[in-house]
Amino acid sequence: MSSPLNPFRAFRIHAEAKPFRAGIESMLVDQLSPGELVIKTAYSSVNYKDALAGTGRGKILREPVLNGGIDVAGHVIATADPGFREGDSVLVTGSGLSETRDGGYSEYARIASRSALPLPAGLDLREAMILGTAGFTAALALLRMEANGQTPDMGPIVVTGATGGVGMLAIDILSTAGYEAHAITGKVEQFDTLIELGATQCIARKDLYWGQRPLETSRWAGAIDSVGGEMLSGLTRVIHPYGNIAVCGMAGGAELHTTVMPFIIRGASVLGIASAGTAYPIRRTLWERLSGPWKPRHLQRICTREAGLDELTEVFATMLSGGSFGRTLVRL
């Protein structure tokens, strides 16, 4: 297949450099990780994992040097897979991007066709990347909760880290799917925004008191938790019988201190949400829902910033200092 011959820009991470180094570099397509599809990138996005990788604060890359960006969407310009044609709109989330192969922070990307999804009819490329890994993760959480028996009539679902990308999208998706959504956040000034997205109750993180007993009075039928640590420990004590806690982050800590009581007395379940390696059939199912019955109604409101490659370092610093709000779209 033919590829562009001119150099292009990419945000390249040298994970093993001493000192750590990341920034804009010039590349050629032939220098990218191998793959059947070359796409002209339209958009990517910024996730917490991207900020860790792009600053060296987390060991995300499994190769010494890669382009950042775990999400990418664009148009196919060259293909060695007969299942795709030039001009097709495609998206990829996770699937080794910025871990084992070059990611989406690049004007061109070369990707494995087995990980590329045709853009669903109900989304454009911009909307797909406002969703990105964050929306996919929130949807995967709900999919797994429902597979384990969660239903709207069991009661409200609480979302922690509610002003982050996963949190805001989770509230919107839950509300769209017929659930009552509650929100926990440290940013009380954003309560009105969370209510606009569909939250029926907002709780300030500083006002939470979980109690000290292994089981406290139950408050919610389930939870989507991107915080972990003490927050997750508290949630296990206050979930209704047979409710599910979907765990998809650890912004508040990686340790979990609890007892077996919520699990053997109330039948609560903790479900791990690992979006990066999700099997292709499940990916297809989730994107069909995200472009249809679960499509968030407030995507433009949730996209609070658009940034170019030159602004990524600043965006990463803001995110890791706890100052991010909503989703940052990366335009290429």
Decide if pLDDT at 4 tops 90. Answer: no
Tell me, yes or no, whether 188 and 261 share the same domain.
yes
Name the percent of the chain in helix, strand, coil, to the closest 5: 30, 30, 40
Please check whether residue 127 lies inside any domain of the structure.
Answer: no
263 part of a folded domain:
yes
**Phi-psi sector, 226: left (phi>0), alpha (psi -120 to 50), beta:** alpha
Q: Are 54 and 179 in the same domain?
A: no
- Whether 105 and 144 share a structural domain: no
Q: Are residues 151 and 263 in the same domain?
A: yes
pLDDT tens-place string over residues 170-207? 999 999 999 999 999 999 999 999 999 999 999 999 99
139 and 267 belong to one structural domain: yes
Do residue 318 and residue 248 come from a single domain?
no
Q: Do 148 and 110 share a domain, yes or no?
A: no
Which among 179, 32, 173 is positioned nearest to 106, based on CA atoms?
A: 32
CATH number for the domain harbouring residue 74: 3.90.180.10
Measured over the CA atoms of residue 164, residue 274, residue 308 and residue 117, the dihedral's sign is negative
Enumerate the H helices of the chain as residue ranges: 48-55, 125-147, 165-176, 191-197, 229-236, 261-264, 280-290, 299-302, 312-320
Question: Per-residue pLDDT for 210 more than 60?
Answer: yes
Query: Is there a single domain that holds both residue 85 and residue 154?
Result: no
3-state secondary structure of 196: helix
Domain contains 324: yes
Nearest Cα to Cα of residue 232 among 253, 216, 217 = 253
In a domain, 289, yes or no: no
- Is the domain of 91 the same as that of 177? no
Answer yes or no: do 233 and 258 share one domain: yes
Percent of the chain with pLDDT over 90: 94
- Identify whether 69 is part of a domain: yes
What is the per-residue pLDDT across 273-303, written as a single tens digit (0 to 9) for each? 999 889 999 999 999 999 999 999 999 999 9
Domain count, the chain: 2
CATH of the domain at 198: 3.40.50.720
The yes-or-no verdict on residue 1 having pLDDT over 70 is no
DSSP calls for 179-193: --EEEEES-GGGHHH
Closest by CA position to 39, among listed 98, 88, 93, 97? 88
Looking at the structure, do residues 192 and 257 belong to the same domain, yes or no? yes
**Residues 167, 249 share a domain:** yes
> Per-residue pLDDT for 2 more than 70?
no
The pLDDT-based confidence of 252 (bands split at 50, 70, 90) is confident
The domain of 165 spans: 133-272
230 located within any domain: yes
